[in-house]
Structure 1
Protein backbone atom coordinates (compact mmCIF):
# COMPACT_ATOMS: atom_id res chain seq x y z
CA UNK A 1 0.00 0.00 0.00
CA UNK A 2 1.21 3.49 -0.89
CA UNK A 3 2.22 5.57 2.15
CA UNK A 4 -0.07 8.41 1.05
CA UNK A 5 -3.08 6.07 0.89
CA UNK A 6 -3.33 6.44 4.68
CA UNK A 7 -5.40 9.45 5.76
CA UNK A 8 -3.26 9.72 8.92
CA UNK A 9 -0.08 9.93 6.83
CA UNK A 10 -1.58 12.69 4.69
CA UNK A 11 -2.80 14.52 7.79
CA UNK A 12 0.64 14.28 9.40
CA UNK A 13 2.40 15.68 6.33
CA UNK A 14 -0.20 18.44 6.00
CA UNK A 15 0.21 19.49 9.63
CA UNK A 16 4.00 19.54 9.33
CA UNK A 17 3.89 21.54 6.10
CA UNK A 18 1.67 24.25 7.57
CA UNK A 19 3.61 24.38 10.86
CA UNK A 20 7.00 24.72 9.17
CA UNK A 21 5.75 27.65 7.09
CA UNK A 22 3.58 29.37 9.71
CA UNK A 23 5.99 29.31 12.68
CA UNK A 24 8.95 31.23 11.13
CA UNK A 25 6.54 33.71 9.53
CA UNK A 26 4.87 34.04 12.92
CA UNK A 27 8.15 35.35 14.32
CA UNK A 28 7.80 38.44 12.12
CA UNK A 29 4.14 38.72 13.13
CA UNK A 30 5.27 38.78 16.79
CA UNK A 31 8.21 41.12 16.23
CA UNK A 32 6.11 43.60 14.23
CA UNK A 33 3.08 43.25 16.54
CA UNK A 34 0.97 42.18 13.55
CA UNK A 35 -1.14 39.62 15.42
CA UNK A 36 -4.38 41.41 14.62
CA UNK A 37 -3.29 41.79 10.99
CA UNK A 38 -2.87 38.02 10.75
CA UNK A 39 -6.28 37.48 12.32
CA UNK A 40 -7.91 39.95 9.92
CA UNK A 41 -6.37 38.20 6.92
CA UNK A 42 -7.53 34.82 8.22
CA UNK A 43 -11.09 36.03 8.87
CA UNK A 44 -11.29 37.48 5.36
CA UNK A 45 -10.57 34.05 3.92
CA UNK A 46 -14.15 32.88 4.55
CA UNK A 47 -15.22 35.47 1.97
CA UNK A 48 -12.68 33.94 -0.43
CA UNK A 49 -14.23 30.52 0.17
CA UNK A 50 -17.70 31.87 -0.60
CA UNK A 51 -16.50 33.51 -3.83
CA UNK A 52 -14.61 30.37 -4.91
CA UNK A 53 -17.69 28.21 -4.38
CA UNK A 54 -19.89 30.75 -6.18
CA UNK A 55 -17.70 30.71 -9.29
CA UNK A 56 -16.73 27.02 -9.01
CA UNK A 57 -13.03 27.81 -8.78
CA UNK A 58 -10.20 26.66 -6.51
CA UNK A 59 -10.70 27.33 -2.79
CA UNK A 60 -6.96 27.99 -2.51
CA UNK A 61 -7.11 30.61 -5.27
CA UNK A 62 -10.17 32.34 -3.84
CA UNK A 63 -8.70 32.54 -0.35
CA UNK A 64 -5.34 33.75 -1.66
CA UNK A 65 -6.91 36.56 -3.73
CA UNK A 66 -9.10 37.81 -0.87
CA UNK A 67 -6.25 37.58 1.67
CA UNK A 68 -3.99 39.60 -0.63
CA UNK A 69 -6.77 42.14 -1.20
CA UNK A 70 -7.25 42.47 2.56
CA UNK A 71 -3.52 43.09 3.06
CA UNK A 72 -3.46 45.69 0.28
CA UNK A 73 -6.51 47.51 1.63
CA UNK A 74 -5.12 47.64 5.16
CA UNK A 75 -1.74 48.92 3.90
CA UNK A 76 -3.47 51.55 1.75
CA UNK A 77 -5.93 52.82 4.37
CA UNK A 78 -3.64 52.76 7.41
CA UNK A 79 -2.51 56.18 8.55
CA UNK A 80 -5.41 57.95 6.80
CA UNK A 81 -7.51 58.94 9.77
CA UNK A 82 -7.98 55.52 11.35
CA UNK A 83 -6.00 53.79 14.07
CA UNK A 84 -4.59 50.48 12.86
CA UNK A 85 -6.38 48.36 15.48
CA UNK A 86 -9.70 50.03 14.65
CA UNK A 87 -9.21 49.54 10.93
CA UNK A 88 -8.26 45.88 11.33
CA UNK A 89 -11.16 45.23 13.69
CA UNK A 90 -13.69 46.70 11.27
CA UNK A 91 -12.30 44.92 8.22
CA UNK A 92 -11.72 41.55 9.90
CA UNK A 93 -15.19 41.17 11.35
CA UNK A 94 -16.89 42.73 8.34
CA UNK A 95 -15.16 40.29 5.97
CA UNK A 96 -16.03 37.34 8.22
CA UNK A 97 -19.69 38.39 8.49
CA UNK A 98 -20.02 39.08 4.74
CA UNK A 99 -18.41 35.72 3.98
CA UNK A 100 -20.77 33.83 6.28
CA UNK A 101 -23.81 35.61 4.82
CA UNK A 102 -22.56 34.95 1.26
CA UNK A 103 -22.18 31.24 2.03
CA UNK A 104 -25.81 31.10 3.18
CA UNK A 105 -26.94 32.35 -0.26
CA UNK A 106 -25.16 29.60 -2.18
CA UNK A 107 -27.73 27.45 -3.98
CA UNK A 108 -27.13 23.79 -4.74
CA UNK A 109 -23.77 23.74 -2.95
CA UNK A 110 -23.26 21.46 0.02
CA UNK A 111 -20.72 22.96 2.38
CA UNK A 112 -19.48 21.87 5.78
CA UNK A 113 -18.94 25.29 7.32
CA UNK A 114 -17.39 23.83 10.48
CA UNK A 115 -14.66 22.21 8.39
CA UNK A 116 -13.66 25.63 7.05
CA UNK A 117 -13.95 27.40 10.40
CA UNK A 118 -12.01 24.83 12.46
CA UNK A 119 -10.22 22.73 9.84
CA UNK A 120 -10.63 19.17 8.59
CA UNK A 121 -7.08 17.86 8.44
CA UNK A 122 -8.22 14.22 8.29
CA UNK A 123 -9.91 14.92 4.93
CA UNK A 124 -6.72 16.19 3.25
CA UNK A 125 -6.31 14.72 -0.22
CA UNK A 126 -3.16 14.20 -2.29
CA UNK A 127 -3.96 17.40 -4.21
CA UNK A 128 -4.44 19.31 -0.95
CA UNK A 129 -1.08 17.96 0.22
CA UNK A 130 0.63 19.18 -2.93
CA UNK A 131 -0.93 22.63 -2.52
CA UNK A 132 0.03 22.82 1.17
CA UNK A 133 3.68 21.83 0.62
CA UNK A 134 3.94 23.95 -2.53
CA UNK A 135 2.67 27.00 -0.65
CA UNK A 136 4.81 26.22 2.40
CA UNK A 137 7.93 25.86 0.25
CA UNK A 138 7.19 29.19 -1.43
CA UNK A 139 6.76 30.92 1.94
CA UNK A 140 10.00 29.47 3.30
CA UNK A 141 11.82 30.45 0.09
CA UNK A 142 10.52 34.03 0.36
CA UNK A 143 11.61 34.29 3.99
CA UNK A 144 15.06 32.90 3.18
CA UNK A 145 15.42 35.27 0.22
CA UNK A 146 14.36 38.42 2.09
CA UNK A 147 15.46 37.46 5.62
CA UNK A 148 18.11 40.15 6.10
CA UNK A 149 16.01 42.91 4.54
CA UNK A 150 12.93 41.88 6.53
CA UNK A 151 14.90 41.92 9.78
CA UNK A 152 16.36 45.35 9.04
CA UNK A 153 12.96 46.81 8.15
CA UNK A 154 11.46 45.23 11.28
CA UNK A 155 14.22 46.62 13.52
CA UNK A 156 14.04 50.18 12.20
CA UNK A 157 12.45 51.68 9.06
CA UNK A 158 14.98 54.52 9.21
CA UNK A 159 17.87 52.04 9.28
CA UNK A 160 16.27 50.21 6.37
CA UNK A 161 16.07 53.43 4.33
CA UNK A 162 19.74 54.13 5.10
CA UNK A 163 20.63 50.64 3.87
CA UNK A 164 18.70 51.15 0.63
CA UNK A 165 15.78 48.94 1.70
CA UNK A 166 12.18 49.99 1.06
CA UNK A 167 10.13 49.11 4.21
CA UNK A 168 6.82 49.11 2.34
CA UNK A 169 8.18 46.55 -0.11
CA UNK A 170 9.19 44.28 2.77
CA UNK A 171 5.73 44.78 4.27
CA UNK A 172 4.26 43.58 0.98
CA UNK A 173 6.51 40.51 1.03
CA UNK A 174 5.16 39.66 4.49
CA UNK A 175 1.59 40.28 3.31
CA UNK A 176 2.03 37.87 0.38
CA UNK A 177 3.63 35.25 2.64
CA UNK A 178 0.82 35.65 5.17
CA UNK A 179 -1.82 35.26 2.47
CA UNK A 180 -0.14 32.05 1.28
CA UNK A 181 -0.04 30.60 4.80
CA UNK A 182 -3.70 31.44 5.34
CA UNK A 183 -4.62 29.78 2.03
CA UNK A 184 -2.75 26.55 2.77
CA UNK A 185 -3.76 26.37 6.45
CA UNK A 186 -7.53 26.37 5.86
CA UNK A 187 -7.69 22.57 5.69
CA UNK A 188 -5.49 22.06 8.76
CA UNK A 189 -6.74 24.45 11.45
CA UNK A 190 -9.50 26.44 9.76
CA UNK A 191 -10.24 30.14 9.48
CA UNK A 192 -10.66 30.86 13.19
CA UNK A 193 -7.43 29.22 14.38
CA UNK A 194 -4.90 30.17 11.70
CA UNK A 195 -3.72 33.22 13.65
CA UNK A 196 -3.09 31.00 16.69
CA UNK A 197 -0.81 28.70 14.69
CA UNK A 198 1.11 31.76 13.50
CA UNK A 199 1.53 33.46 16.87
CA UNK A 200 1.69 30.81 19.61
CA UNK A 201 4.79 28.82 18.47
CA UNK A 202 6.70 32.06 17.87
CA UNK A 203 5.66 33.44 21.26
CA UNK A 204 6.64 30.15 22.92
CA UNK A 205 10.08 30.23 21.27
CA UNK A 206 10.88 33.84 22.15
CA UNK A 207 12.21 33.35 25.72
CA UNK A 208 14.67 30.65 24.58
CA UNK A 209 16.22 32.36 21.56
CA UNK A 210 19.09 34.84 21.59
CA UNK A 211 19.07 35.43 17.83
CA UNK A 212 16.23 35.88 15.32
CA UNK A 213 17.39 32.84 13.36
CA UNK A 214 17.32 30.63 16.45
CA UNK A 215 13.86 31.88 17.35
CA UNK A 216 12.57 30.94 13.89
CA UNK A 217 14.10 27.46 14.16
CA UNK A 218 12.73 26.86 17.67
CA UNK A 219 9.30 28.16 16.59
CA UNK A 220 9.29 25.76 13.63
CA UNK A 221 10.19 22.91 16.00
CA UNK A 222 7.37 23.84 18.40
CA UNK A 223 4.94 24.18 15.50
CA UNK A 224 5.92 20.79 14.09
CA UNK A 225 5.67 19.14 17.51
CA UNK A 226 2.26 20.73 18.09
CA UNK A 227 1.00 19.38 14.76
CA UNK A 228 2.23 15.84 15.45
CA UNK A 229 1.23 15.71 19.13
CA UNK A 230 -2.11 17.39 18.46
CA UNK A 231 -2.93 14.93 15.70
CA UNK A 232 -2.03 12.01 17.96
CA UNK A 233 -4.03 13.40 20.90
CA UNK A 234 -7.06 14.05 18.69
CA UNK A 235 -6.89 10.45 17.44
CA UNK A 236 -6.65 9.04 20.97
CA UNK A 237 -9.25 11.25 22.67
CA UNK A 238 -11.55 11.72 19.64
CA UNK A 239 -11.38 15.51 19.77
CA UNK A 240 -11.44 18.07 16.90
CA UNK A 241 -8.00 17.93 15.31
CA UNK A 242 -7.40 21.62 14.50
CA UNK A 243 -8.31 22.93 17.96
CA UNK A 244 -6.32 20.09 19.57
CA UNK A 245 -3.20 21.13 17.64
CA UNK A 246 -3.63 24.70 18.89
CA UNK A 247 -4.18 23.42 22.45
CA UNK A 248 -0.84 21.58 22.31
CA UNK A 249 0.85 24.76 21.06
CA UNK A 250 -0.78 26.71 23.89
CA UNK A 251 0.49 24.12 26.39
CA UNK A 252 4.01 24.56 24.99
CA UNK A 253 3.67 28.32 25.44
CA UNK A 254 2.47 27.90 29.03
CA UNK A 255 5.28 25.48 29.86
CA UNK A 256 7.88 27.73 28.25
CA UNK A 257 6.59 30.76 30.12
CA UNK A 258 6.74 28.84 33.41
CA UNK A 259 10.31 27.65 32.78
CA UNK A 260 11.36 31.17 31.82
CA UNK A 261 9.77 32.52 35.01
CA UNK A 262 11.56 29.94 37.18
CA UNK A 263 14.98 30.67 35.72
CA UNK A 264 14.68 34.43 36.20
CA UNK A 265 16.60 35.67 39.25
CA UNK A 266 14.42 36.58 42.21
CA UNK A 267 14.71 40.26 43.08
CA UNK A 268 13.51 41.70 46.34
Structure 2
Protein backbone atom coordinates (compact mmCIF):
# COMPACT_ATOMS: atom_id res chain seq x y z
CA UNK A 1 0.00 0.00 0.00
CA UNK A 2 1.27 3.46 -0.92
CA UNK A 3 -0.01 4.87 2.40
CA UNK A 4 2.39 2.55 4.25
CA UNK A 5 5.21 4.95 3.27
CA UNK A 6 5.54 7.54 6.06
CA UNK A 7 6.76 10.22 3.62
CA UNK A 8 3.67 9.76 1.43
CA UNK A 9 1.42 10.08 4.48
CA UNK A 10 3.33 13.18 5.60
CA UNK A 11 2.99 14.77 2.15
CA UNK A 12 -0.75 14.05 1.98
CA UNK A 13 -1.24 15.43 5.50
CA UNK A 14 0.63 18.63 4.64
CA UNK A 15 -1.34 19.15 1.42
CA UNK A 16 -4.62 18.60 3.28
CA UNK A 17 -3.76 21.25 5.85
CA UNK A 18 -2.52 23.67 3.16
CA UNK A 19 -5.78 23.37 1.20
CA UNK A 20 -7.87 23.99 4.32
CA UNK A 21 -5.72 26.88 5.53
CA UNK A 22 -5.62 28.75 2.19
CA UNK A 23 -9.17 30.19 1.92
CA UNK A 24 -9.36 30.71 5.66
CA UNK A 25 -5.96 32.42 5.67
CA UNK A 26 -7.24 34.90 3.09
CA UNK A 27 -10.04 35.98 5.43
CA UNK A 28 -7.56 36.15 8.32
CA UNK A 29 -5.47 38.58 6.24
CA UNK A 30 -8.44 40.62 4.98
CA UNK A 31 -10.01 40.91 8.43
CA UNK A 32 -6.67 41.41 10.21
CA UNK A 33 -7.37 38.44 12.46
CA UNK A 34 -3.75 37.26 12.73
CA UNK A 35 -3.70 37.48 16.51
CA UNK A 36 -6.98 35.57 16.72
CA UNK A 37 -5.44 32.65 14.83
CA UNK A 38 -2.47 32.73 17.16
CA UNK A 39 -4.69 32.77 20.24
CA UNK A 40 -6.76 29.80 19.05
CA UNK A 41 -3.59 27.85 18.28
CA UNK A 42 -2.12 28.56 21.72
CA UNK A 43 -5.28 27.22 23.34
CA UNK A 44 -4.64 23.88 21.61
CA UNK A 45 -2.01 22.93 24.22
CA UNK A 46 -4.70 23.11 26.91
CA UNK A 47 -6.76 20.76 24.75
CA UNK A 48 -3.82 18.33 24.54
CA UNK A 49 -3.44 18.37 28.33
CA UNK A 50 -7.14 17.76 28.96
CA UNK A 51 -7.16 14.91 26.43
CA UNK A 52 -4.27 13.20 28.22
CA UNK A 53 -5.88 13.66 31.64
CA UNK A 54 -9.24 12.33 30.45
CA UNK A 55 -7.68 9.64 28.20
CA UNK A 56 -9.61 10.84 25.15
CA UNK A 57 -8.62 11.59 21.55
CA UNK A 58 -6.07 14.40 21.22
CA UNK A 59 -7.90 15.69 18.15
CA UNK A 60 -11.23 15.80 20.03
CA UNK A 61 -9.70 17.63 23.01
CA UNK A 62 -7.95 20.20 20.84
CA UNK A 63 -11.07 20.75 18.73
CA UNK A 64 -13.32 21.27 21.77
CA UNK A 65 -10.92 23.73 23.47
CA UNK A 66 -10.29 25.61 20.20
CA UNK A 67 -14.05 25.87 19.59
CA UNK A 68 -14.60 27.12 23.15
CA UNK A 69 -11.83 29.68 22.69
CA UNK A 70 -13.39 30.88 19.45
CA UNK A 71 -16.85 31.13 20.99
CA UNK A 72 -15.66 32.95 24.14
CA UNK A 73 -13.69 35.52 22.12
CA UNK A 74 -16.68 36.06 19.79
CA UNK A 75 -19.03 36.56 22.75
CA UNK A 76 -16.68 38.93 24.60
CA UNK A 77 -15.88 40.98 21.50
CA UNK A 78 -17.23 44.49 21.99
CA UNK A 79 -18.01 43.98 25.70
CA UNK A 80 -15.57 46.61 26.95
CA UNK A 81 -12.25 44.93 26.19
CA UNK A 82 -9.87 45.87 23.40
CA UNK A 83 -9.63 42.86 21.08
CA UNK A 84 -5.83 42.67 21.11
CA UNK A 85 -5.82 42.79 24.92
CA UNK A 86 -8.51 40.12 25.19
CA UNK A 87 -6.73 37.82 22.72
CA UNK A 88 -3.37 38.34 24.40
CA UNK A 89 -4.72 37.46 27.84
CA UNK A 90 -6.60 34.39 26.63
CA UNK A 91 -3.86 33.08 24.34
CA UNK A 92 -1.06 33.20 26.88
CA UNK A 93 -3.29 32.07 29.73
CA UNK A 94 -4.46 29.02 27.78
CA UNK A 95 -0.90 28.14 26.78
CA UNK A 96 0.38 28.55 30.35
CA UNK A 97 -2.45 26.50 31.89
CA UNK A 98 -1.92 23.86 29.22
CA UNK A 99 1.81 23.54 29.89
CA UNK A 100 1.20 23.38 33.66
CA UNK A 101 -1.53 20.76 33.22
CA UNK A 102 0.75 18.63 31.01
CA UNK A 103 3.38 18.58 33.77
CA UNK A 104 0.84 16.99 36.15
CA UNK A 105 0.06 14.11 33.80
CA UNK A 106 1.81 11.09 35.30
CA UNK A 107 2.51 7.72 33.74
CA UNK A 108 2.47 9.11 30.18
CA UNK A 109 5.57 10.00 28.23
CA UNK A 110 4.85 13.31 26.50
CA UNK A 111 6.86 14.71 23.61
CA UNK A 112 5.93 18.35 24.14
CA UNK A 113 8.07 19.50 21.19
CA UNK A 114 5.90 17.43 18.85
CA UNK A 115 2.83 19.38 19.97
CA UNK A 116 4.60 22.75 19.86
CA UNK A 117 6.30 22.33 16.46
CA UNK A 118 4.46 19.42 14.87
CA UNK A 119 5.46 15.85 14.05
CA UNK A 120 4.30 15.38 10.47
CA UNK A 121 6.49 12.31 9.93
CA UNK A 122 4.51 10.46 12.61
CA UNK A 123 1.15 10.96 10.85
CA UNK A 124 -0.77 7.67 10.69
CA UNK A 125 -3.67 6.57 8.51
CA UNK A 126 -6.23 7.61 11.14
CA UNK A 127 -4.56 11.04 11.43
CA UNK A 128 -4.69 11.33 7.65
CA UNK A 129 -8.42 10.58 7.60
CA UNK A 130 -9.03 13.19 10.31
CA UNK A 131 -6.93 15.83 8.54
CA UNK A 132 -8.63 15.34 5.16
CA UNK A 133 -12.06 15.10 6.77
CA UNK A 134 -11.50 18.40 8.59
CA UNK A 135 -10.03 20.00 5.46
CA UNK A 136 -13.01 18.91 3.36
CA UNK A 137 -15.39 20.33 5.97
CA UNK A 138 -13.62 23.70 6.04
CA UNK A 139 -13.32 23.97 2.24
CA UNK A 140 -17.01 23.05 1.82
CA UNK A 141 -18.06 25.57 4.47
CA UNK A 142 -15.94 28.32 2.91
CA UNK A 143 -17.36 27.55 -0.53
CA UNK A 144 -20.94 27.59 0.78
CA UNK A 145 -20.58 30.89 2.65
CA UNK A 146 -18.03 32.53 0.33
CA UNK A 147 -20.14 35.42 -1.01
CA UNK A 148 -21.69 36.15 2.40
CA UNK A 149 -18.29 36.07 4.10
CA UNK A 150 -16.85 38.39 1.44
CA UNK A 151 -19.71 40.87 1.75
CA UNK A 152 -19.50 41.03 5.55
CA UNK A 153 -15.71 41.37 5.31
CA UNK A 154 -15.82 44.24 2.81
CA UNK A 155 -18.64 46.29 4.33
CA UNK A 156 -20.83 45.50 7.35
CA UNK A 157 -23.43 48.09 6.33
CA UNK A 158 -23.74 46.47 2.89
CA UNK A 159 -24.02 43.08 4.59
CA UNK A 160 -26.90 44.30 6.79
CA UNK A 161 -28.61 45.80 3.75
CA UNK A 162 -28.29 42.45 1.96
CA UNK A 163 -29.84 40.58 4.87
CA UNK A 164 -26.51 39.13 6.04
CA UNK A 165 -25.63 38.98 9.75
CA UNK A 166 -21.91 39.88 10.04
CA UNK A 167 -21.67 38.39 13.55
CA UNK A 168 -22.92 35.05 12.28
CA UNK A 169 -20.36 35.08 9.46
CA UNK A 170 -17.66 36.00 11.99
CA UNK A 171 -18.71 33.02 14.10
CA UNK A 172 -18.52 30.69 11.08
CA UNK A 173 -14.99 31.95 10.42
CA UNK A 174 -13.88 31.42 14.00
CA UNK A 175 -15.35 27.91 14.13
CA UNK A 176 -13.62 27.04 10.84
CA UNK A 177 -10.40 28.38 12.30
CA UNK A 178 -10.79 26.08 15.30
CA UNK A 179 -11.16 23.07 12.98
CA UNK A 180 -8.03 24.03 11.03
CA UNK A 181 -6.06 24.41 14.27
CA UNK A 182 -7.17 20.94 15.37
CA UNK A 183 -6.22 19.23 12.10
CA UNK A 184 -2.95 21.17 11.68
CA UNK A 185 -1.62 20.30 15.17
CA UNK A 186 0.12 17.15 13.97
CA UNK A 187 1.61 18.85 10.92
CA UNK A 188 3.15 22.11 12.17
CA UNK A 189 2.32 22.31 15.89
CA UNK A 190 0.57 25.02 17.86
CA UNK A 191 3.35 27.61 17.57
CA UNK A 192 3.44 27.51 13.76
CA UNK A 193 -0.22 27.04 12.79
CA UNK A 194 -0.87 30.79 12.55
CA UNK A 195 2.15 31.14 10.24
CA UNK A 196 0.77 28.50 7.85
CA UNK A 197 -2.53 30.40 7.80
CA UNK A 198 -1.03 33.83 7.21
CA UNK A 199 2.09 33.50 5.10
CA UNK A 200 0.73 31.79 1.94
CA UNK A 201 -2.24 34.19 1.85
CA UNK A 202 0.03 37.20 2.35
CA UNK A 203 2.39 35.94 -0.38
CA UNK A 204 -0.53 35.49 -2.80
CA UNK A 205 -2.08 38.91 -2.20
CA UNK A 206 0.12 41.09 -4.48
CA UNK A 207 -0.55 38.85 -7.51
CA UNK A 208 -4.29 38.31 -7.14
CA UNK A 209 -6.89 40.36 -8.96
CA UNK A 210 -9.87 38.66 -7.32
CA UNK A 211 -10.52 37.09 -3.90
CA UNK A 212 -11.01 33.70 -5.54
CA UNK A 213 -7.66 33.97 -7.32
CA UNK A 214 -5.98 34.86 -4.03
CA UNK A 215 -7.45 31.77 -2.33
CA UNK A 216 -6.31 29.48 -5.16
CA UNK A 217 -2.82 31.01 -5.28
CA UNK A 218 -2.54 30.78 -1.49
CA UNK A 219 -3.44 27.08 -1.73
CA UNK A 220 -0.72 26.58 -4.36
CA UNK A 221 1.88 28.43 -2.26
CA UNK A 222 0.88 26.51 0.87
CA UNK A 223 1.10 23.19 -0.96
CA UNK A 224 4.48 24.07 -2.48
CA UNK A 225 5.77 25.16 0.94
CA UNK A 226 4.59 21.93 2.54
CA UNK A 227 6.01 19.57 -0.09
CA UNK A 228 9.21 21.58 -0.54
CA UNK A 229 9.71 21.95 3.21
CA UNK A 230 9.16 18.22 3.72
CA UNK A 231 11.77 17.42 1.07
CA UNK A 232 14.25 19.98 2.46
CA UNK A 233 13.82 18.63 6.00
CA UNK A 234 14.51 15.12 4.68
CA UNK A 235 17.65 16.27 2.86
CA UNK A 236 19.11 18.49 5.58
CA UNK A 237 17.78 16.60 8.62
CA UNK A 238 16.02 19.69 10.04
CA UNK A 239 12.72 19.91 12.02
CA UNK A 240 9.95 19.45 9.48
CA UNK A 241 7.33 21.92 10.76
CA UNK A 242 9.74 24.87 11.10
CA UNK A 243 11.30 23.99 7.71
CA UNK A 244 7.87 24.15 6.03
CA UNK A 245 7.17 27.57 7.56
CA UNK A 246 10.69 28.79 6.70
CA UNK A 247 10.14 27.91 3.05
CA UNK A 248 6.75 29.67 3.12
CA UNK A 249 8.46 32.75 4.59
CA UNK A 250 11.07 32.62 1.81
CA UNK A 251 8.33 32.49 -0.82
CA UNK A 252 6.64 35.47 0.88
CA UNK A 253 9.92 37.43 0.74
CA UNK A 254 10.33 36.61 -2.96
CA UNK A 255 6.69 37.55 -3.60
CA UNK A 256 7.13 40.89 -1.84
CA UNK A 257 10.34 41.59 -3.79
CA UNK A 258 8.70 40.70 -7.11
CA UNK A 259 5.69 42.91 -6.31
CA UNK A 260 8.00 45.81 -5.39
CA UNK A 261 10.02 45.44 -8.60
CA UNK A 262 6.85 45.23 -10.69
CA UNK A 263 5.47 48.39 -9.07
CA UNK A 264 8.78 50.18 -9.61
CA UNK A 265 8.84 49.12 -13.28
CA UNK A 266 5.24 50.26 -13.85
CA UNK A 267 6.01 53.64 -12.29
CA UNK A 268 9.07 54.03 -14.51
CA UNK A 269 6.98 53.20 -17.61
CA UNK A 270 4.28 55.68 -16.52
CA UNK A 271 6.90 58.35 -15.94
CA UNK A 272 8.48 57.71 -19.34
CA UNK A 273 5.05 57.85 -21.01
CA UNK A 274 4.28 61.13 -19.24
CA UNK A 275 7.45 62.73 -20.61
CA UNK A 276 6.42 61.80 -24.14
| Matched residue, 2:176 | 177
| Matched residue, 2:165 | 166
Query: Which consecutive residues of structure 1, in runs of 5 or more, have no partner in the other structure?
Result: none
Give the distance between the partners of 2:130 and 2:48, measured in 1 at CA.
16
Give the distance between the partners of 1:159 and 1:92, measured in 2 at CA.
32
Asked if residue 95 in structure 1 is aligned to residue 94 in structure 2, the reply is yes
Note the 1:106-255 alignment, pairs <5 A: 106-255=105-254
2:192 is paired with a residue of what secondary structure?
helix
| Matched residue, 1:32 | 31
Give the distance between the partners of 1:10 and 1:235, measured in 2 at CA.
14
Q: Where has structure 1 moved over 3 Å in runs of 4 or more? A: 265-268
| Matched residue, 1:264 | 263
Give the distance between the partners of 2:154 and 2:188, measured in 1 at CA.
31
Give the distance between the partners of 2:249 and 2:73, measured in 1 at CA.
28
Give the distance between the partners of 2:123 and 2:104, measured in 1 at CA.
26
* TM-score, normalising length: structure 2: 0.95
Give the distance between the partners of 1:118 and 1:42, measured in 2 at CA.
11
| Matched residue, 1:85 | 84
Give the distance between the partners of 1:172 and 1:88, measured in 2 at CA.
16
| Matched residue, 1:57 | 56
1:24 deviates by 1.4
Give the distance between the partners of 1:78 and 1:13, measured in 2 at CA.
37
1:129-150 deviations in whole A, cap 9, x for unaligned?
0000000000000000000000
* TM-score, normalising length: structure 1: 0.98
1:107 deviates by 1.2
Give the distance between the partners of 1:158 and 1:186, measured in 2 at CA.
36
- Total equivalences in the alignment: 267
Give the distance between the partners of 1:173 and 1:14, measured in 2 at CA.
24
Give the distance between the partners of 1:7 and 1:24, measured in 2 at CA.
27
1:264 is paired with a residue of what secondary structure?
helix
